Amino acid sequence: MSFIDECGNTGTDLLEMTQPLFILACVSVPETSADYLREQVTTTFNSLKEKEEKELKARRWLKSAPKREGMRRLLEKVRFHEGFITVVVVDKIWLLAALVVQNFLDPEFNPKANVYLGPTLFNPVYAREITAYFYSVIEKGDREIIAAAFRKSTLENIRRAFDYLVSITDNPEFKEIIEGCDINRLFDEELSCNAWEKAGVEYSPNLTAFADLGRRLAVSLEKRSSETDVVFDHCVEFDDPFSNLYEFCGGFKYVEEKDRVLGMNTWKGFINRFDVANSKSEPLLLLADIVATGFTKMTWKILKSEELDDFDHTLINLLKSSGLDKSINVLMAPTQGEDLLSRVSP
């Protein structure tokens, strides 16, 4: 059984800088241990709660030493009972730059991208290099120009973003490629509101993270010769889009080897069911809240070169025991991502 929660949700607003990171966390536990862990979550809450507290909130509990220790012990119990976690970290500004590459440099709508880049654009390493370039050249004060093209996709907004990208791109090759984008087709066939309403999907860190987390979870389950049902903590904005994404990724049975190399895989046979609940009806969702919130706080400590404590090290040990190569993905600027991964790696 797998339970998913998030930290840093601002929906499709990528420019809300009070929460620049979005972190999606999944806690998977054997069904045979689920009832025991539910009991432990409830017991921990009842023994440490304040009189007025109705439920465990990791953000608040992390500020109290006894409650922090209580949550740390819960994570130890997850590891002891062969549970594992999957985490995706998204820098929202990095995602903004990635959307530029995925859309304005998409060979489907840009013949020059196909000529200059060909299949290398779909190589994750090369795509990351191009994303890093746009991450560095898009000025902080101009991010809204790019964000509007995806948050409010009108032809006027897309043209404004296109003109801006052409004006700031000082790499001659990238500039010529950008100029080759057919923005009318991009809008009509990809970014128009009608097209996305039918798909039930919006550009957001939530959807990006869920797609990646599901892919990683499926791979982890395949290696364990296991399968799971997924329960996501209720979120009005994304209950339906997440369900639609699950239906899509669980719908195809086979992925060719060349696509698996690029990170694609099917969820079918590994993630069998998708449900939405809340922590009052499913206490194990609180474990996902603890991991998502704890990982967010720990990430900021690492990026600021601050000392980690016992809770952080327990979280890292749980990540390591989960199989690090498939249990975490970091979608952020290379330097920051390397700093984070170097601290949580074996």
pLDDT per residue rounded down to tens, the chain (346 residues): 999 999 988 777 788 888 899 999 999 999 999 999 999 999 999 999 998 888 889 999 999 999 999 999 999 999 999 999 999 999 999 999 998 988 898 888 888 887 666 665 666 777 888 899 999 999 999 999 999 888 777 899 999 999 999 999 999 888 988 999 999 998 888 877 544 444 434 567 787 888 888 888 888 888 888 999 899 888 766 667 677 777 766 654 444 443 443 445 677 788 888 888 888 889 999 999 999 999 999 999 999 999 999 999 999 999 999 886 678 988 888 888 888 988 887 6
pLDDT the model gives residue 216: 87
pLDDT the model gives residue 107: 85
Instruction: Give the other-Cβ count within 10 Å of 247's Cβ.
Output: 12
Instruction: For residue 6, give every residue at least 6 positions away whose Cβ sits within 8 Å of its Cβ, in sequence order, or none.
Output: 22, 23, 24, 25, 206, 209, 233, 235, 292
- 149 phi/psi in degrees, rounded to 5: -65, -25
CA distances in angstroms from 128 to 27, 94, 99, 164, 332, listed in the order given: 28, 10, 12, 21, 9
From CA 262, how far away is CA 258, in angstroms rounded?
7
pLDDT the model gives residue 129: 85
From CA 44, how far away is CA 171, in angstroms rounded?
56
Q: Report the topology of domain 2-91+205-344.
A: Nucleotidyltransferase; domain 5 (3.30.420)
pLDDT the model gives residue 267: 76
Which residues in 129-249 belong to E strands, given as ranges? 228-233
The sheet with strand 84-91 has its strands ordered as: 271-277, 228-233, 2-7, 21-28, 84-91, 328-331
From CA 298, how far away is CA 245, in angstroms rounded?
29
pLDDT the model gives residue 27: 96
- Token duo for residue 157: 């907004």
**Half-sphere exposure of 281 toward its Cβ, with a 13 Å CA cutoff?**
8
